[in-house]
Amino acid sequence: MPQDQLTVRHWGEASYEDVWHAMQDFTNQRDQDTQDEFWLVEHPPVFTQGQAGKPEHILNLGDIPLVKSDRGGQVTYHGPGQLIVYLLLDVRRKKLGVRHLVTSMENAIVALLAAYHIDAYAKPDAPGVYVAETMGTENKIASLGLRVRRGCSFHGLALNVNMDLAPFLRINPCGYAGMAMTQCSALGGPHTIDEAQSQLVPKLADLLGYQHLDYTTEKLKL
């Protein structure tokens, strides 16, 4: 299996639990010849809580369901207008460390936003991507959460593109009380999922050493 080939699978809109269980199945069933994949997806409204999630960071779920996931990190929100990129990679075969994966995701998002003259940055003590402070407020635009099992990664990144940010007020995003969230469309960045993913995916793939991308909308039969 060539190490520089990657399948990019478009899921469209799909429930968090369906895609999460598909990621688990894919990871359990893959072998040394399975090609690495990115999965691109939008989720209906859902809160997800990572393995270390603390209940005090959930303020008011309201009518939005909560799913306790096996990814890292605390609680976050997913909804339409947010670009999700899941990284299903054989990190042992690719010789990628988790820190390199996280840094690559952050750097790809920062580079995407820089193309729109948006000043964004990562923080060593709080994974994700943030935009420059305005009037003393720091705003988060992308969240990260990974799981590595059997030498393979799944879960990934969530970039706020053009969505309803109000549900973030019902939680302490990623475990930070009062964390302000923002999105690309509010800052003069990409306004659609297609616009964002068409630029982000090649940047991230390149940073991880994939030169040949195979795009597909075929659903997996696991």
Q: According to the annotation, is 208 in a ligand binding site?
A: no
Tell me, yes or no, if 174 is annotated catalytic: yes
From the list 174, 179, 196, 208, the catalytic residue is 174
Residue 145 counted as an annotated binding residue = yes
157 annotated as a binding-site residue: yes
| 76 annotated among ligand-binding-site residues | yes
Residue 157, CA atoms < 13 Å, CB-side half-sphere:
28
Is 79 labeled as ligand-binding? no
75 is known to lie in a ligand binding site: yes
Residue 144 is assigned to a ligand binding site: yes
Taking CA atoms, 117 is separated from 22, 41, 56, 112, in Å, by 37, 26, 37, 9
Are 76 and 171 in contact by the 8 Å Cβ rule? The answer is: yes
98 is in an annotated binding site: no
* C-alpha to C-alpha distance for 150 and 135, rounded to whole angstroms: 45
Tell me which DSSP letter residue 209 carries.
Answer: T
Which is nearest to 168 in space by CA: 178, 154, 153, 159? 178
12 is annotated as contributing to ligand binding: no
Annotated ligand binding at 143? The verdict is: yes
Of the candidates 197, 176, 221, 216, which has an alpha carbon nearest to the alpha carbon of residue 84? 197
Q: Is 21 annotated as a binding residue?
A: no
Coarse DSSP helix, strand, coil percentages of the chain, rounded to the nearest 5 percent: 30, 35, 35
Q: Where would I find the H helices in the chain?
A: 16-29, 91-94, 98-114, 193-207
- Binding-site residues for substrate sit at 71-78, 143-145, 156-158
Supply the residues annotated as catalytic.
174
Residues annotated in the binding site, as ranges?
A: 71-78, 143-145, 156-158
